[in-house]
Amino acid sequence: MKKNAVLLASHGHLAKYALDSAQMVMGKLENCDYLSVTIDVTPEDAKKLVEQKIGQLDTSAGLVILVDVFGGTPSNIATEVLMQGTKCISLKRTKPACADRTVYAPGNAPG
């Protein structure tokens, strides 16, 4: 059974360290990657990086993008990619207490 690809995206290095921590506990996670949007990365460069990272993942079963702030640059870029027709994106904040928003590609919502 194929599993969704996972991309963590954040301001600063939160996504990198979240993935590092998960792998410390669970071992190497396949089909997962991260994107750190730092002060020296423009929104245009970040969009190219997101597209590059997604291209390196197997998204045939779907794609989950976890972001740090809904409405921030990583979130906005993920939404743009979603609207370009990516098969399926579930876009959620990485903070569990705030993980209440899911955005699906058109025609891919459950139910």
Q: What is the CATH number of the domain that holds 84?
A: 3.40.50.510
Report how many domains make up the chain.
Answer: 1
CA distances from 42 to 37, 38, 46, 61 (A): 8, 9, 6, 30
Reading the block at residue 87, the tokens are 């098969």
How many CB atoms within 10 Å of residue 11? 17
Residue-wise pLDDT tens digits, 40-65: 999 999 999 998 999 999 988 888 88
- Which pTM value belongs to this model? 0.77
pLDDT of residue 104: 52
pLDDT of residue 100: 41
Reading the block at residue 54, the tokens are 């997604």
Cβ-Cβ contacts under 8 Å for 67 (sequence gap 6 or more): 8, 9, 10, 74, 75, 78, 91, 92, 93, 94
Q: Does any domain span residue 27?
A: yes
Q: Does any domain span residue 108?
A: no
Domain coverage including residue 16: 5-98
